[in-house]
Amino acid sequence: MLSNLNDPASSYIKTVNDQKPLIEFINIVKTFKTEAGIFPALRGVNLSIDRGEFVSIMGKSGSGKSTLINMLTGIDRPSQGEIYVAGTPVHQLSESEIAKWRGANLGVVFQFFQLLPTLTLIENIRLPMDFCDIFPRSERTDRAMALLELVGLAREANKTPARLSGGQQQRAAIARALANDPPIIATDEPTGNLDSATASQVIELFEGLVAQGKTIIMVTHDSELAQRASRKISIADGQIV
């Protein structure tokens, strides 16, 4: 199913040397300045992730795990160090370049789903395609529909998010993250607002995507869910342990 969705139009994204890791964090330091002083959130993180890995990042509140994933998505920038994703030096891109780069290379799934309330599911999924202009206009609606089928929500395509349960919204959010067929999915506590059965379904969906070759980085504080990843990383007080 998903292989159908891997459109040749986006294949340039993956023109990287397979020998090198897909994601490389080199000595990442992030400090936050507050009036009360400097607070170090990440203190020298080195990390490489290969294509097709399902990585869980565990840690307590305040350990720096959300900051770490924000470095990857370009939502936040490192104070020091370098980040390469598929060869792109993310730490050097401007805010506007990052938005474009992220749209094409990274699907982000949030804890609170963050679907746009005024758009229907299919429109929510078309939106990133319209922003990034990778898939031809004529194919977008079909592709959005195919993605909804993938997450089992084809029948709800014309409903607004408010009419769906949390689990359904999160599945739609995952379909949206796949809109531009990015090689990487980054997600921060994707099951934080779901009950355990629904959470399990969402993780199954991730496992399916990994089987198709996607790389997934998931932040969680739930050790049971973290067990299901192919690699577990623990972080405490801004360092990988």
Partner 1 sequence: MRFFPLELKTRWVKVLKDIWGNKKRSLLVVLSIAVGVAAVGMINTAKQVVERDLYGDFWAGNPASLTIYTSPFQKELAEAVQNLREVETAEARRTVAADIFRSEDHWEDIQLTVLPNFNAPKIDRFVLEEGSANPGGREILLERDTAHSMGLSVGDTVIIKMPDGRTYSLKIAGIVHNVYVIPFSLLNEATGFIRMETLQWMGEKPYYNQIALVVSENKYDRKHVLKVGETIRDRVIEPAGYQTYRIQIPGIGSDPGQHWAHNQIAGFLLILQIMGIMAIVLSGGLIINTVSAIVTQQIRQIGVLRAIGGVRSQLVTMYLVNVLLLSILALFIALPLGQLGALGIARLAASFLNFNLKLFTIPLDVLLLQVGLGLLMPLLAALYPILGGTRISVYEAIYQQGLHSEEKERLVDRLLYKLRNISPPILLSLRNTFRKKTRLAFTLVTLTLAGAMFISVFSTRASLTEQINQISRYVAFDAAIGLSGGVQRPTAIREALRIPGVSVAEGWANSSGVIVHYDGSESKALDIVGLPYNAQTIEPLMLKGRWLRSGDSQAVVVNDDLLETEKELDVGSQIQLKVGDSKRAFTIVGIASKHLSGPRVYMTLEDFGRLTGRQNQVDSIRVKISPSATSSARIQSELAAELEKRFDNAGLSKQKATTQSAIFADFSQPFNIILIVLIIMASILSVVGGLGLTGVMGLNVLERTREIGVLRAIGATNTSVVKVVVVEGIVVGLISWVLGAIVSVPSGWVLAWAVVEAVLQAQVNYRYSGWGLLLWLVLILLIGVFSSLAPARDAARLTVREVLEYE
Partner 2 sequence: MTVHKAINEIGLIETAAPSQGESSGKRMIDLRGVYKSYHAPAGPFLALRNIHLAIQPGEFIAVFGKSGAGKSTLVNILSGIDQADSGEIILNGTPIHTLNEDQRSRWRGKNMGIVFQFFQLLPSLNLIENITMAMDLTDSFPLRERKQRALQLLEQVGIAEHALKPPSKISGGQQQRVAIARALASDPPILVADEPTGNLDTKTRDGILEIFSTLAENGKTILVVTHDKEIAACASRIVHLKDGEIVAGQA
Residues forming the site for partner 1 (CB under 8 A)? 70, 73, 75-76, 95-96, 99-100, 102-104, 108, 110-120, 123-124, 126-128, 130-132, 158, 160-162, 176-177, 179-180, 188
Complete DSSP assignment for 45-94: EEEEE-TT-EEEEE--TTSSHHHHHHHHHTSS--SEEEEEETTEEGGGS-
CB atoms within 10 A of CB 69: 20
User: Rounded distance, CA 9 to CA 124, Å?
Assistant: 21
The residue within the footprint of partner 2, chosen from 85, 129, 147, 164 (CB under 8 A), is 164
Select 56 or 70, whichever has its Cβ closest to partner 1: 70
Output the 3-class SS for 2-28: HHHHCCHHHHHHHCCCCCCCCEEEEEE
Select 137 or 163, whichever has its Cβ closest to partner 2: 163
Q: Which does 34 bind (CB under 5 to 8 A by kind): partner 2, partner 1, none?
A: partner 2
Q: Which does 69 bind (CB under 5 to 8 A by kind): partner 1, partner 2, none?
A: none
Task: Tell me how far, at minimum, the Cβ of 88 lies from partner 1, in Å.
Answer: 15
Select 8 or 37, whichever has its Cβ closest to partner 2: 37
Task: Please provide the distance, in angstroms rounded to a whole number, between the alpha carbons at the two ends of the chain.
Answer: 38
Q: Which does 37 bind (CB under 5 to 8 A by kind): partner 1, partner 2, none?
A: partner 2
What would the two tokens of residue 205 be? 């969906």
> Per CB under 8 A, does 193 bind partner 2?
yes
> Per CB under 8 A, does 221 bind partner 2?
yes
> Per CB under 8 A, does 3 bind partner 2?
no
What would the two tokens of residue 18 be? 């397979």
Select 130 or 195, whichever has its Cβ closest to partner 2: 195
Q: Please check whether residue 67 is in contact with residue 30, taking contact to mean a CB–CB distance below 8 angstroms.
A: yes
User: Rounded distance, CA 105 to CA 109, Å?
Assistant: 13
Task: Tell me how far, at minimum, the Cβ of 181 lies from partner 2, in Å.
Answer: 29
Task: Tell me how far, at minimum, the Cβ of 61 lies from partner 1, in Å.
Answer: 12
Classify the C-alpha dihedral 197-206-220-73 as positive or negative. negative
Contacts with partner 2, residue ranges (CB under 8 A): 34-37, 39, 60-62, 162-168, 189, 191-196, 221-222, 237
